[in-house]
Amino acid sequence: MFGPLISKPGSSKSNKTGSWRVEIRPRFLQKNCIACKMCLLICPEGCIEGDAKNTYHCDFTYCKGCGNCAAICPKADIEMVKEETKE
Amino acid sequence: MFGPLISKPGSSKSNKTGSWRVEIRPRFLQKNCIACKMCLLICPEGCIEGDAKNTYHCDFTYCKGCGNCAAICPKADIEMVKEETKE
Amino acid sequence: MKEIRIHARAGQGAITTASLLGYIYFLKGMYPYAVPHFGAARMGAPMNAFVRVDSKPIRLRSQIYEPDYVLIVDATLMRGFNCFSGLKDNGIAIINQREGVEIPKVNARQKVFLVPANDIALKTIGRPLGNTALLGAFAAATGEYELEFLVEAIKKRFPAGLQDPNIKAATQGYEFVKNSTKG
Amino acid sequence: MKEIRIHARAGQGAITTASLLGYIYFLKGMYPYAVPHFGAARMGAPMNAFVRVDSKPIRLRSQIYEPDYVLIVDATLMRGFNCFSGLKDNGIAIINQREGVEIPKVNARQKVFLVPANDIALKTIGRPLGNTALLGAFAAATGEYELEFLVEAIKKRFPAGLQDPNIKAATQGYEFVKNSTKG
Amino acid sequence: MKEFLEGSMAVAKAVQLCKPGVVSAYPITPQTHIVEELAQMVADGHLKAEFVNVESEHSAASVVLGAAATGVRTYTATSSQGLFLMAEVVFNIAGLRLPMLMTCANRAVSAPINIWNDQQDSVSLRDSGWIQLYVEDLQETVDFHLMGYRLSEDKSMMLPVMICMDGFILTHGIETIDMPEQALVDKFLPSYKALYKLDPANPITMGPLVDADYYMETRYAIDQTQKEALALIPKITAEFSKVFGRAYNGLVEGYRIDDAERVIVAMGSVCGTIKETIDELRKKGKKVGLLKITCYRPFPAQQIYEALKNIPKVAVVDRALSLGSYAPLAAEIKAAFFGKKKKPSVISSFIVGLGGRDITKDSIKEVFRLLTTTEKNEYIDLKPELLKESYE
Amino acid sequence: MKEFLEGSMAVAKAVQLCKPGVVSAYPITPQTHIVEELAQMVADGHLKAEFVNVESEHSAASVVLGAAATGVRTYTATSSQGLFLMAEVVFNIAGLRLPMLMTCANRAVSAPINIWNDQQDSVSLRDSGWIQLYVEDLQETVDFHLMGYRLSEDKSMMLPVMICMDGFILTHGIETIDMPEQALVDKFLPSYKALYKLDPANPITMGPLVDADYYMETRYAIDQTQKEALALIPKITAEFSKVFGRAYNGLVEGYRIDDAERVIVAMGSVCGTIKETIDELRKKGKKVGLLKITCYRPFPAQQIYEALKNIPKVAVVDRALSLGSYAPLAAEIKAAFFGKKKKPSVISSFIVGLGGRDITKDSIKEVFRLLTTTEKNEYIDLKPELLKESYE
Amino acid sequence: MNKQLFNPGHTACAGCGQSLAARLVLEASGPNTVIINNTGCLEVFSTKYPESAWAVPWIHSLFENAAAVASGVEAGLKSLGTKDTINVIAQAGDGGTADIGLQALSGMLERGHDVLFVCYDNEAYMNTGVQRSGLTPFDSNTTTSPTGIQSCGNLRPKKPVPEIANAHGIPYVATASVGFPQDLSRKVKKALSIKGPKYLQVHVPCPLGWRHDPGLTFQIGKLAVETGLYPLFEYENGRLSAVRQIQPKPVEEYLKAQGRFKHLLSKPEEVKKIQAVADANIERYNLKVQATS
Amino acid sequence: MNKQLFNPGHTACAGCGQSLAARLVLEASGPNTVIINNTGCLEVFSTKYPESAWAVPWIHSLFENAAAVASGVEAGLKSLGTKDTINVIAQAGDGGTADIGLQALSGMLERGHDVLFVCYDNEAYMNTGVQRSGLTPFDSNTTTSPTGIQSCGNLRPKKPVPEIANAHGIPYVATASVGFPQDLSRKVKKALSIKGPKYLQVHVPCPLGWRHDPGLTFQIGKLAVETGLYPLFEYENGRLSAVRQIQPKPVEEYLKAQGRFKHLLSKPEEVKKIQAVADANIERYNLKVQATS
Ligand SMILES: Cc1ncc(C[n+]2csc(CCOP(=O)(O)OP(=O)(O)O)c2C)c(N)n1
Ligand SMILES: Cc1ncc(C[n+]2csc(CCOP(=O)(O)OP(=O)(O)O)c2C)c(N)n1
Ligand code: SF4
Ligand code: SF4
Ligand code: SF4
Ligand code: SF4
Ligand code: SF4
Ligand code: SF4
Ligand SMILES: [Mg+2]
Ligand SMILES: [Mg+2]
């Protein structure tokens, strides 16, 4: 007989940590983006996507609003805004 | 209640390891000894005594006949002899 | 015996709130038992704490499933799951108000108090830590203790510099409810 | 059931002797159990080994206190303590002879065989390892097995180069006793 | 003086009152708050002790071992994996007859890893020679820490004592405690005098190799001394109540047991929940009671027999397993009645609250419900839907 | 084929026949000869396995854990202090449901340090979730190593198995053994197929954090699976005898027990000495017998009940202690009869042969002599002159 | 984002440097990787049953034995004949590396297993609430090295674990930081290209334990390097083969952003001591950019 | 011979290098010494109950924890206020030091305890019958690194424990040998004159395990140094402060006297490898006596 023992790969995605975001969230301006990928590299949640310039954005289902993407962006093309702000 | 737990300092001396000596034992010639103390230093049993020249000797109650004293003596003033040999 | 469940996110001081609330009861000469319900999650993750109190020492060590009162430190938690679950049907909920979070309907005999605790805290303490304001509101909403006990608790438990601001926050929380109820 | 106790110093091959003796019985189709009695002591310290043998598998696991035979690999051990302790009163002792060690008195029905095993070994094997010579003597002294079994055991257990020398040693040990007994 | 304190804080203050010379521990949930508070006391000069921040529990236990061998009072605390990692040292300390106190913040053991409360950790070290005392609430926690040192250092004992307190429920629970005063503690607990220690003035050899000629007696002596503790503990609790006015049996404690038809036997904080449930059921006229085991090692077989011999039905609640066999406490309780004329007609075994599974009044009621005339061996609050027969 | 082999050599050869992919162990008397022989086999290319020379037993157990997780058959061996040092890993392996075989060369535990035989080491890990099989002689030793792997790797089990053999007496004893042939072993023991393993093709997560919502079921499953082994073991022994012609019960074995009035219950090599003594006493008309426990975990309570229910007097011989309480085996044997109508009138407990204290026929006779109508709890062959009441 | 190897939904604090580093390490190693993880924040926040952030084979056994379990995994894969196609990575926090896991690590290095050991150095036992570890820096305020009337925080310097690993005579030892993400990825790839035991120590800021704004994780990592407090270097076969040169910044810049060092800002003499640590590193590893070239 | 600190009657093999070294260490330290001893030959042959060779306070706990127990002894003496008058010496064999005891040792060094740790390096687990340890030299024939059809003995080089200890940044690290008894005594005295953690590794030939004539213990110890296979050096505060210079002898001289290396004499290519080890040492520690001066 077996009880809880092993977990399925990547199953954490069912845990929507976006709800943890209470104060601020990033806004990807997609104006001066040079596609340096730094935001994508630095995101602790690994929830940023993008390929070409000005295509980078994050998945708010998981984004915890830490602000590192905004901090690292060489073009200040990401800004942190109040959670409530509408796009 | 207490059982066997601690031992008394130096009590190993009641164990006369001299009896382990079967083949050979050292003979301290006390002829050319220069009192360099090397034999005393090297004896694994710590059973060699002596102070002045030609006074060095070992305690056969413990000597295991290893031969290191003879090996180290710079003056070859210790020789290993058959256990049976009389002094 | 009264049972209180506190909802917050790890890092929002649910435990301090629970122990402060317990301490108030202690000052009243009652026998509180306050305990956090730890998950393994980190800052920002939902967690809760419990306070159980009675006139004799508390022996029951289980979690609280049917609280007399719930104290919701972070309203956004209500998006996630039901903070009201098991609330007694004459139960009272004190919620740290926040725009854009709608309040679930409650039955007739249940009471819900929305308190702008963080705003109060910002004004009084200078940081959005609404806990003392919420405990003030709790006093007014439930009548469990007089404001004096809360004030004394704050004096005993907070470093000198933080006492007056928190007492202010507590008082404003208390008055906010008092005013909202009368009339 | 026969019980044999082997006395030696750690490093003098008591265990090899015990296992070789056991192996001889094994070849005879009997059921030997050979086991060393380990102390924590080092090379040179007295130790012993046991062989217990029967026509059916041995189940008794205790040490041997009343041996039918004792085999003393190093006569100097007799200075230290009584290797004969518990020897059955029709028991037999085989001793690796050594000058300057006197043999304790034994009662009428007990037999003691002094065998110059080391000298034999020196002549045959080139090193003073009297074990095989002693087992030859053991065969003659006790009649427990024919020399052939010992020879076969040596062939099975020793590396090629060492077989003949050890067979020689065994045979000479055997003959030494045979001769000493007759007349 | 009455205070409203977290359990860990209370333990730290109790230890401070006992003035250990050396404190060493390694952090592990849910023991951490105890050690952190002691570290703060030392940092603030409120506790004059050497605080040794070690690299593992194995070394934490080894450090207190070494310090105790110099004749100093020592303290350590651990839990779960930490207790298992130091297991070899734990046995060794008892074998060396070194008195000391350890707090075990009871927690489940790995695998799977789980940081919540049950009692598998300390129960699995029941053979080790440590005296084990299980506490129900924070007042007991504080008081038995003081009594623990007394017991441990008694010239007839010289055995280590483990105070087992349920993780989170007690370590992180906050309640009202009457904290003893230093003067009284000093009166109750004189400073420690070792019978033998590492001292150049009398250079003894400790921890020698003891062979077959001597070993059995060393072990027998520990076994006997443990059993002698059954007589000493009540003496110490009596003296404690003289000084502090709080009375404990120290071995076992019955609750509404005299006329009871069904009795639960249990250890630790769950006893509180059981008492609460009993009062409720009593109101409904149910004749139920509790026998609380405070002293698990030594095992108070005689006292348990006396307490239960006339009880028709007994349910043993274990918070630990001996996988593949009887639950540890259940086995010994049953053993206590072998060959006895008077005995319960049923002793059932129930596994409750493993790995933090919440123990509610309903859990306890379920135990009582299942405590019928037929013997049971059941897990309470189990979720069958999580089980599968195979992985293929 | 019949051979005259030292126990350790025989174990090494048995393991070689089972073709493990990874072997890792750390030396400790009296286990060393086993590992040394395996090292030699690998050095000579007679065993195709990764031989990992680790720096401690904690790592030895961790290495086989890791290797087993990749789906490979593994082997390790230890004893005494080594088993205790790896205790945390031992529990962990069972919790992870990783099948493997370990030989425990039973030895006394420290303090005081003693390298000779008793069974305190493996007995103290009886809670761990490992199946424990105790062997009487070298033929059993070899055969149960083969059966151990079969049992461990059975799809319904996936639990580690510990073969417990008495140190020196069996590990260093030399006797006649019928060594199984490779072809038959391959028939009896197919190569190991894991149910789950570390494999990029199916990247599962092993050993996750399991909280209060799930933990209890994981533990329950191990407990149940252990009990299922009670049904599986006889199946495996039956199949074994089909292939190799040697029959074992695998759980318990009675010797001259049917008409016996006095029966000793025991585990391991002492059973041989007991049988020998029984035959002697039988000759004198004494109705004595033995119940040998082969399977200690899972605990075969039902089989023990059946075997002893009509025996008037039972003596349980323990080679280990639970300091301050009942001897471990005695407690469970007594528990097995609670609430049963049929049962012995007396079950007495005897501690025999700790730390290598020689167990003679006289020791066993003493046990029978003391097995009267009054229940006893005694140490056999104790030397009272070595005990003192105090150190002052 | 479907074929991610380290997935979102884990429960790390916002701005967790370790979660970020773990993802970068795994992405550099790729899908043919087996990870053996000691107990710690990473294990806890990434594998709370029934969820797992990992899409590669991953195992957790205990707090102290990842290096030994990894040795077994490596041996197992060898006996299966698949080792050469699979990267084996053992990983742990600073506590699981420098303290309780050091012996298992040392044994793994000594035996020469083909395993990369990654230490996520957040400079304390974070999973249990910020207790001191061997890698906690001097004067840092932790719960077991608290500041107090008689204490100014942690008494001991950082344990030189990279030097200790290098003293084992292994082929590759390096330090890295989330402040330099590409450099981190490069070092992982380089390490995995070398056969035998490798040690990589990554500096991972922890907003909770260091008490800094979650948004500063990256900058603080960078500052640690730029002040000389966390030198980035590589040893190959025992020889210092590369260092990241810096234009040293004063340590205050690094200290002032973190609550764990708050108590120092009023104590210039203590700050001096910490500056001395940085200066010693700069000297020892010759970190200062030379004017020439 | 009555006030001896390490007494005869112990049960070591004739010619045991460890028994000799232990006596020299203790005589250099004097009566105000507390010894903490790991399990091993020394513990076994010196303290078989009811006898003890020791006339100073001595304790044995386990095989792996002497350094941790010593940390506790030091802390205990501190709290009693007697530490400054007493030397605390933790001692162990090579296995108890480099392998199973390494973590306890590392922790003790890292915490800065005022303890001298002495490793008696007989290059295998002798107490249990000559199994390989981390300090067993390359190609040495032991029971767990046996020679065989596919093996030429131990696969790994000696674990560089003195370097590892030195990497901890402690005040004093040294190697010594029974081949140079006065040098050994001097290093013990010097170590004890320094406050803080000290590490001393003493090469102690073992007639049983190395299979050499008991009378050669001294010469073999000497040869190990003179061939460069066992360099004698001292580190003070991390800097190599002294080495014993030699006129290097060929390694054969050392190898041929020992059974554990017997199998090599027929394999010149293996002997070359071992000569290379010696040469590397000579180079690294610059052991060769310079013609000049
Ligand atoms: C043997 C043992 N001791 C203690 C613990 C408790 N414990 C789990 S993780 C941890 C600290 C981890 O610190 P670190 O390795 O630095 O990782 P971090 O959490 O900081 O990332 C501790 C003390 C344990 N699980 N096992
Ligand atoms: C935890 C544990 N594992 C293994 C042993 C067995 N053991 C005792 S001493 C020893 C070897 C000692 O070797 P070393 O430290 O080099 O000392 P030596 O005997 O060579 O002087 C071993 C393996 C033990 N006592 N405890
Ligand atoms: S705010 Fe933080 S979590 Fe959100 S996208 Fe930016 S880096 Fe990622
Ligand atoms: S960091 Fe800024 S510039 Fe670089 S990719 Fe992201 S958004 Fe574009
Ligand atoms: S022979 Fe050996 S034991 Fe005897 S005195 Fe000389 S050195 Fe000492
Ligand atoms: S070694 Fe020789 S010369 Fe020196 S003291 Fe001894 S006997 Fe005299
Ligand atoms: S505590 Fe620190 S390491 Fe742990 S999850 Fe939070 S930020 Fe990351
Ligand atoms: S085996 Fe070696 S170390 Fe041990 S006592 Fe004999 S010579 Fe000394
Ligand atoms: Mg950390
Ligand atoms: Mg050694």
Contact residues of ligand 1, CB 6 A cut-off: E 26-28, 57, 81-82, 85; G 18, 39-42, 63-64, 92-96, 120, 122, 125-128, 133
| CB neighbourhood size of E356 (10 A) | 23
* Main-chain phi, psi angles of G161, to 5 degrees: -60, -40
Residues of chain F contacting G4 with CB distance shorter than 8 Å: none
- Of all protein residues, the one whose alpha carbon is nearest to atom 6 of ligand 5 is B69
Which pLDDT score, from 0 to 100, does residue G292 have?
Answer: 61
- Which ligand 8 atom sits nearest the alpha carbon of residue H13? 6
Ligand 4, atom 1, residue with closest C-alpha: A73
Contact status, residue C169 vs residue C133, Cβ threshold 8 Å: yes
Closest-CA distance of chain G to residue E31, Å: 9
Question: Which of E217, E226, E227 is the best substitution to test chain B (most B C-beta atoms within 10 A)?
Answer: E217
Residue with tokens 């991972």: G204
The CA E69 to ligand 9 mean position distance, Å, reads 33
Interchain pair B42, H216: CB under 8 A: no
Q: In this model, does residue H2 exceed pLDDT 60?
A: no
Chains adjacent to H (≥3 CB pairs closer than 8 angstroms):
B, D, E, F, G
Per-residue tokens: E237: 């609790």
Contacts of D43 in chain H (CB under 8 A): 13-14, 207-208
User: Which H or E run contains B28?
Assistant: strand B24-28
Range with lowest mean pLDDT among B23-37, D93-107, E148-162: D93-107
- Span F294-312, average pLDDT: 98
- Of ligand 3's atoms, which has the minimum distance to the CA of residue A78? 6
Query: If you average pLDDT over residues D105-130, what whole number do you get?
Result: 93
Q: pLDDT-based confidence at F269, cuts 50/70/90? A: very high
Chain CA centroid to CA H113, Å: 20
Q: Touching check for F25 and chain G: CB below 8 Å?
A: no
Shortest alpha-carbon distance between residue G21 and chain F (Å): 19
Task: Judge if the beta carbon of residue A34 lies within 6 A of ligand 4.
Answer: yes
**Residue D183: pLDDT above 60?**
no
Q: pLDDT tens across F99-112, in order?
A: 999 999 999 999 99
Identify residues whose C-beta is under 5 A from ligand 9, the ion: G 93-94, 122, 126
Q: Nearest C-alpha to atom 25 of ligand 1 is from which residue?
A: G63
Q: Provide the chain E residues 130-189 that lie in CB contact (below 8 A) with chain G.
A: none
pLDDT the model gives residue D104: 81
Residues of B in contact with H15 (CB under 8 A): 44, 64, 66-68
Distance of CA C146 to the CA centre of its chain: 15
Which residue type sits at D19? S
- pLDDT score of D103: 83
**For ligand 4, is residue A58 a contact (CB within 6 Å)?**
no
Chains A and F touch (3+ CB pairs under 8 A): yes
Bond from prior residue into F112 cis (ω within 30 degrees of 0): yes
Yes or no, beta carbons of G144 and E44 under 8 Å apart: no
- Cβ D109 vs Cβ D90: under 8 Å: yes
What pLDDT shows up at residue D80? Answer: 73
Least CB-CB distance to F338: which of E111, E337, E387? E337
Whether the CB-CB separation of H60 and F111 falls below 8 Å is answered with: no
The average confidence (pLDDT) of chain D is: 93
So what's the pLDDT on residue H272? 98
Among the partner residues H99, H156, H164, nearest to G164 by beta-carbon distance = H164
* Minimal C-alpha gap between F192 and chain G (Å): 12
Q: H66 pLDDT exceeds 90?
A: yes
Q: What is the 3-state secondary structure (H, E, C) of chain E?
A: CEEEEEHHHHHHHHHHHHCCCEEEECCCCCCHHHHHHHHHHHHCCCCCCEEEECCCHHHHHHHHHHHHHCCCCEEEEECHHHHHHCHHHHHHHHHCCCCCEEEEEECCCCCCECCCCCCHHHHCCCCCCCEEEECCCHHHHHHHHHHHHHHHHCCCCCCCEEEEEECCCCCCCEEEEECCCHHHHHHHCCCCCCCCCCCCCCCCEECCECCCCCHHHHHHHHHHHHHHHHHHHHHHHHHHHHHHCCCCCCCEEEECCCCCCEEEEECCCHHHHHHHHHHHHHHCCCCEEEEEECEEECCCHHHHHHHHCCCCEEEEEECCCCCCCCCHHHHHHHHHCCCCCCCCCEEEEEECCHHHCCCCHHHHHHHHHHCCCCCCEEECCCCHHHCECCCC
How far is ligand 1, taken at its centre, from the CA of residue E31, in Å?
A: 12
Name the residue with the closest Cα to ligand 7, atom 2: G206
* Subunit contact A22:C100, Cβ cutoff 8 A: no
Two structure tokens written together for F280: 């002697």
Choose among D19, D25, D20: nearest CA to D2: D25
According to the model, what pLDDT value does residue G1 have? 42
Q: Does residue H140 have a pLDDT over 70?
A: yes
**In the prediction, which pLDDT does H1 show?**
42
Nearest 5°: CA angle at F274, between F269 and F275?
A: 100
- The tokens 């590589």 sit on which residue? G234
Report pLDDT digits (tens) over A54-87. Answer: 999 999 999 999 999 999 999 999 999 998 876 6
Distance G93 CA to ligand 9 centre (A): 5
Q: Is the peptide bond before H50 cis (omega within 30 degrees of 0)?
A: yes
pLDDT band at H104 (very low <50, low <70, confident <90, very high): very high
Determine the Cα–Cα distance for residues C148 and C140; give it in Å rounded to an integer. Answer: 12
List CB contacts (< 8 A) between D79 and chain B: 19
Name the minimum distance, in Å, from the CA of G99 to any CA of chain C: 23
Say yes or no to pLDDT of H74 above 70.
yes
Instruction: Compute the average pLDDT of residues E51-70.
Output: 98
Contact (CB<8Å) G50/A8: yes
One-letter amino acid of D93: A
Half-sphere exposure of H45 (CA within 13 A, CB side): 31
**How far is the alpha carbon of F2 from chain E, nearest alpha carbon, in Å?**
34
pLDDT at H3 over 80: no
Of E53, E68, E70, the CB nearest to H111: E53
Ligand nearest D40 Cα, by number?
8
Tell me which long-range contacts E189-194 makes (C-beta under 8 A, separation of at least 24). Answer: E189/E18, E189/E146, E189/E149, E189/E150, E191/E19, E191/E73, E192/E71, E192/E72, E192/E73, E192/E99, E192/E149, E192/E153, E193/E71, E193/E153, E194/E68, E194/E71
What pLDDT score does F322 carry? 98
**What is the structure's pLDDT at C101?**
83
Look at residue F68 and tell me whether its pLDDT is greater than 90: yes
pLDDT tens string for chain C (183 positions)? Answer: 999 999 999 989 899 999 999 999 999 999 999 999 977 768 888 899 999 999 999 999 999 999 999 999 999 999 877 899 999 999 999 999 988 888 888 888 999 999 999 999 999 999 989 999 999 999 999 999 999 999 999 999 999 999 999 999 999 999 999 998 765
Decide if E384 touches A, using CB distance below 8 A.
Answer: no
Q: Which residues of chain G have pLDDT under 50?
A: 1-2
